[in-house]
A and B are shown apart, each in its own frame.
Chain A
Amino acid sequence: MRLSSDSNDQTTQSRTGAARAPRLNASVGELLRAERERRGWQIVDIARQLKIRRLMLDAIETGRHQDLPRGAYAAGFVRAYADFLELDSAELVRRFRTETSGLEERAELSFPTPINETRLPGSLVVASALLAAVLSYGGWYYYTLDNRTPAQRVTAVPETLAARVPAPEPLPPRSNAISSSEARAGALPQPIPSPVLEAPAPLPPAAFVPTPAAPATQLAALPPAAAPASAQPAAEGPRSFGEPQEGRIVIRATSDSWTQIRDAAGNIVFSRILRAGESYNAPDREGLALWTGNAGGLDIRVDGRLVPAIGRVGFVQRSVPLDPVRLVAGTAAPPEPPRPVAPLPTAVPTLTPAPAPASDGSPG
């Protein structure tokens, strides 16, 4: 820099730090001004030549960097000015940058983004609303799950009816395995699902004891002791309510049914939900009436014989007189309204009370 020697005498009393090296202690503005004055030019002439406004050149010379336009423009002005004065523009621009480094950082580019005008609520609101929706749906689901009538399953055929189930024909000797099991069958009947069996519905093995070889009469006469051990607790398990001994009328639930018995005066004698298999032994009294929420879920027996059902599954029957005669006749229950829909496929098969031999093989 040939200029430094010229400006050194001026910059000795310069206001910038005297601690720096003598060649560097002059600011860019001072160097430019010194060179301009050495050449005897006015700042106005330079402004006219460079088309840079006089104020800006003044700002460069006096070091008022904040008055200069930001970014690359100020450096560009310094470069143009230095070139015009035939100084080392690259060096001066470098020094100018170090001088202004505190002021001028890398121009931050932040693009104007449109103001968010969406009417969507905040994420917190959305989240809480979602949570509430999930909770309420879950609650509703749980609630309805509780109230929903469970799918009706075909209940076990009562033991009293087991005999009436047509016993399977003796299987044609298809295989040796079956014929060889014939001997055992009498002693330990095994629940073999028989393909020829034409039962109305699949029956649990506890109720139906298939004995491929034994005739039906033999089955009926089968002593309880001979029954499979596994069937025993199943038959004894369900509780019975009411009288300790079976009276004339026994109400047995084939599916969960709310049952209430009232006497003639309207006093509630018995009220409870009978679970499937549970039974109620009605006292032998006049004037008892039955309220139930599931007319089809009850098997009513009079003297051990099944009477016609008092209604379909899920039908509410009120004030059905527990009169043995009317029950047997099937006129105890008021006629139920016609069904709006096709009969449920899960309905309990209505077993027509055929004059079958009463066979109380296993007490209830």
Chain B
Amino acid sequence: MFSRLLGMLSADMAIDLGTANTLVYVKGRGIVLNEPSVVAIAEIKGKKQVLAVGDEAKLMLGRTPGNITAIRPLRDGVIADFEVAEEMIKHFIRKVHNRRSFASPQVIVCVPSGSTAVERRAIQESAESAGARRVFLIEEPMAAAIGAGLPVTEPTGSMVVDIGGGTTEVAVLSLGGIVYSRSVRVGGDKMDEAIIAYIRRNHNLLVGESSAERIKKEIGSACPPDDGEGRMMEIKGRDLMNGVPKELLISERQIAESLAEPVSAIIEAVKVALEHTAPELAADIVDKGIVLTGGGALLGNLDYVLRHASGLPVSVADDPLSCVALGTGRCLEEMKTLRNVLISMY
């Protein structure tokens, strides 16, 4: 009775709790919030307090003094820091409700398909203690496929590859369920790390995570250009040899080289998933191909590489960054009909 009353005061939310970005979809309003999953925590007189969440906190990432730590509470698609994740969800709930108190919305959160029961429970509990009235979970590939507009409920196979910040989910869906799914902990973060490692190894230059991400977005490519060095970009960091800040020029070819390892891991996951697909579904997939979603789908030439590796038509979904949030949001809107794709850990 009381919770229903609170429910009337609060807007139901669908949260794509991603490693890199958190998107919030509010029932009837669409995606209202898209912020990095970063929380800055300040320690004031021995007490930890949230200083900033989201965009503001991301600017602090790697630039904090001793008493402030900028934390990414999610790693590899799952919660790494329970308390900070709870603070972040609490912040987003409050932000959506314009800091009104008494908000206790119904929340759908998506989880990687490869996450363990413990990890799912952690996500559910942190959402609950952040003030959610009821928490449902949805598997990311299902949300991504719904968000991309694939006919997931039809008796035809659909293959979706969702390349997120922390994980890459490869799934074959049919009749409203996941036939096969594979989750590899390779995503945007691993690409950034690969870029950092490559630059350090080859140029003795240490760049930060944010810089690496920017490089990936600007000149990142899954395969080296056909001829020449491709686009060039100036990067800044700290020279490891003499310890002074340094600037150097890096080419698309070099970045493609550095990204070869994470990209091949994604290709491998897709191949393994195809190997495990039943022949009838494989036949459907040959016709319609693979749909790429998630921020990783925006990596240059990734569709080209996957197309040649798999021999299947590969297309990128509309607005791949928000596919998962849109799909989760659609589940929220059509809770009655899509109830059976939702999971509750209780």
- Do A and B actually bind? yes
Residues of A in contact with B (beta carbons under 8 Å apart): 50-53, 56, 69-73, 75-77, 79-80, 93, 106-107, 109-112
| B317 engages A51 (CB within 8 Å) | no
**How many Å lie between the Cα of A50 and that of B314 in the bound state?**
8
Select which of B288, B308, B315, B341 is within 8 A of A79 by beta carbon: B315
Asked if A71 and B149 sit within 8 Å, CB to CB, the answer is yes
Asked if A80 and B315 sit within 8 Å, CB to CB, the answer is yes
For the complex, give the distance between the alpha carbons of A112 and B148 in Å.
20
Residues of A within 8 A of B288 (CB): 69, 73
* Minimum-distance CB pairs A-B, first 8: A76-B315, A72-B149, A111-B176, A52-B313, A69-B288, A73-B288, A71-B151, A51-B313
For chain B, give the interface size range. Answer: 20 to 34
**Which of B150, B303, B338 sits near A80, CB closer than 8 Å?**
B303
Kindly identify which residue among A53, A107, A110 contacts B150, using a CB–CB cutoff of 8 Å: A107
Question: Contact partner of A109 among B148, B152, B308, B318, CB < 8 A?
Answer: B152
Which of chain B's residues 147-170 have a Cβ closer than 8 Å to chain A? 148-153
Question: In the complex, which residues of chain A have a beta carbon less than 8 angstroms from the beta carbon of B340?
Answer: 111
In the bound complex, residues from chain A placing their C-beta under 8 Å from that of B175 are 111-112
Please determine whether B151 and A70 come into contact, CB atoms closer than 8 angstroms: yes
Q: Distance in Å from the Cβ of A51 to the closest Cβ of chain B? A: 5
Q: Does B311 contact A (CB under 8 A)?
A: yes
Chain B min CB distance to A144 (Å): 42
Contact between B153 and A109 (Cβ–Cβ < 8 Å)? Answer: yes
Given contacts A50-B307, A51-B289, contact A72 B314 (CB under 8 A): no
Question: Which chain A residues border B153 with CB–CB below 8 Å?
Answer: 109-112
Per the bound structure, the CA–CA distance linking A80 and B288 in Å amounts to 13
Residue interface mask B315-327, A partner, CB < 8 A = 1: 1111000000000
Q: Which residues in B have their C-beta under 8 angstroms from that of A56?
A: 313
A107 touches which of B151, B287, B310 (Cβ 8 Å): B151
B334 at the binding interface (Cβ < 8 Å) = yes
Question: Contacts A51-B289, A69-B287, A110-B337 given: A80-B314 contact, CB under 8 Å?
Answer: yes
Q: Assess whether B176 is in contact with A72, with CB atoms less than 8 Å apart.
A: no
B272 at the interface (CB under 8 A from A): no
Choose one: B176, B316, B334; the contact of A76 (CB below 8 Å).
B316
A51 with B150: in contact, given A72-B317, A112-B176 (CB under 8 Å)? Answer: no
- Complex-state Cα separation, A199 to B315, whole angstroms: 104
Mind listing 28 A-B residue pairs with CB under 8 Å? A51-B310, A51-B313, A53-B287, A53-B313, A69-B288, A71-B150, A72-B148, A72-B150, A72-B291, A72-B318, A73-B150, A73-B291, A73-B315, A76-B291, A76-B317, A77-B289, A79-B315, A79-B316, A80-B303, A80-B314, A80-B316, A106-B149, A107-B149, A107-B151, A109-B153, A109-B330, A111-B176, A112-B153
* Residues of chain B whose beta carbon lies under 8 Å from any beta carbon of chain A: 146, 148-153, 175-176, 287-289, 291, 303, 307-308, 310-318, 330, 334, 337-338, 340-341
Residues of A close to B150: CB separation below 8 A: 71-73, 107
Report how far A5 CA is from B313 CA in the complex, Å.
30
Cβ distance A93 to chain B, nearest Cβ, rounded Å:
7
Which chain A residue shows the least CB distance to B292? A76
Distance in angstroms from B53 CB to nearest chain A CB is 32
B330 proximity list for chain A (CB < 8 A): 109
B314 touching A109, Cβ below 8 Å:
no
Complex Cα spacing A79 to B316, Å: 8
How far is A27 from B112 in the complex, measured between Cα atoms in Å?
A: 40
A112: B residues at CB distance < 8 A: 153, 175-176
A363 to B286, CA, bound (A): 113
Known: A51-B289, A72-B291, A93-B318. A111 touches B313 (CB 8 A): no
Tell me the complex Cα distance, A89–B290, Å: 18
Per the bound structure, the CA–CA distance linking A110 and B154 in Å amounts to: 8
Q: Which residues of A contact B341 (CB under 8 A)?
A: 111
Within 8 Å by CB of A73, from B176, B289, B308, lies B289
Q: Which residues of B contact A93 (CB under 8 A)?
A: 318
Q: Knowing A76-B289, A76-B291, A111-B338, say if A50 contacts B313 (CB, 8 Å).
A: yes
In the bound complex, CA of A79 to CA of B315 (Å)? 7
Minimum C-beta distance from B318 to chain A (A): 7
In angstroms, Cα B308 to Cα A315, docked, is 104
Of chain B, the residue at the smallest CB distance from A77 is B315
* Pair B315/A109 contact, Cβ less than 8 Å: no
Contacts of A73 in B (CB 8 A): 150, 288-289, 291, 315
Q: How far is the CA of A148 from the CA of B340 in the complex (A)?
A: 57
B330 and chain A: residue at smallest CB distance: A109
Interface centre among A72, A75, A112 (most CB of B within 10 A): A72
A93 to B316, CA, bound (A): 12
- Bound-state CA distance A53–B314 (Å) is 12
Can you name the residue of chain B whose Cβ is closest to the Cβ of A55? B287
Distance from B294 Cβ to chain A, minimum over Cβ atoms (Å): 14
Chain B residues, Cβ within 8 Å of A106: 149
Give the contacting residue for B146; candidates A51, A69, A109; CB below 8 A. Answer: A109
- A70–B148 Cα distance when bound, in Å, is 12
B289 CB contacts on chain A under 8 angstroms: 51-52, 73, 76-77
Q: Quote the shortest CB–CB distance from A70 to chain B (angstroms).
A: 6
Other than the given A53-B287, A72-B317, 6 more pairs (CB < 8 A) read A51-B311, A69-B287, A71-B150, A107-B150, A111-B176, A111-B337
Q: Which residues of A contact B316 (CB under 8 A)?
A: 76, 79-80
Contacts of B287 in A (CB 8 A): 53, 69
> Contact at A109–B291, with CB atoms within 8 Å?
no
> Given the complex, which residues of B lie within 8 Å of A52, measured CB to CB?
289, 313
A51 touches B314 (CB 8 A): yes
Considering the chains assembled together, what is the distance between the CA atoms of A7 and B94 in angstroms? 52
Shortest B62–chain A CB gap in Å is: 33
